[in-house]
Structure 1
């Protein structure tokens, strides 16, 4: 049961909380839209993977299941590869650049001070741009907030991972701005 009284017709998880208080929900969903869906040198699948990775570290099941599914539906290799990456990024079949960015996201999810010059240098050596490094840190920071928002208010979330498949398809089709509306 959520820690705040919410209408039963609101969406599950963070979107329901955004609908509960649209004045704060709209800017939060717009931030997710910009970070995860706008034109970028990192693919949408990779940015969603960073969000899922941080959510796994924070033990936020709703965000982990949602963003890993959004990543899997957009990743050329699909669910199996996304699961491998989330299980062990260091040995996953991904580029050195994405490995370095995931390492930065891990550090940023622990503390901003945990991101070191060496991590940033490693990411640059692997081909990461300043914008990619910036956005990786911002995705990690934002998802620490989204994770705590969802779990801190005990949002109602689906237990069945299959429930996240249509939610992910809707996000891919309509974007994150649709999360803060009650349609």
Structure 2
């Protein structure tokens, strides 16, 4: 393993591209080596939901891999990482990972993460969920994935969407075992209530 911890970050086509961008920014400030892969639909969502250009997003990562590059380092289990976060994670990407029938580097890297027993965090961005979705999510959980929908924490008294995105990003990093000061911890009820 290299001196820096390596984290694979995937951005799929689900709504919530801001979460992926914030995670990349946070990793840069935490001095993590990031390997980014964005699905084709993820590229569209970034352009529709943010003011960032694809070039700007790619520049946030240490290494960018095209979704069609099945020969990339992150497609192999011999490439050591601490795991992978897909944020946001679409139902299509989740379904491919659950079945092991992967069609892009994004889902292949996730499959590799699972087979190597590394942490795979999927920030599923869909609601409502039908029974087929729930069965696939259960299957993924049984396979070792951590399912983390981007649900806001209101005990932090957020003042903006940015506050919500930052809190969730810190939570993702902590789940990956990376300490940070982005997420505020619950400190118990006030006034002994």
Tell me whether the two structures share a fold, i.e. TM-score over 0.5: no
Q: TM-score, with normalisation over the residues of structure 1?
A: 0.32
* Structure with the bigger percentage of helix: 1
* Structure with the bigger percentage of strand: 2
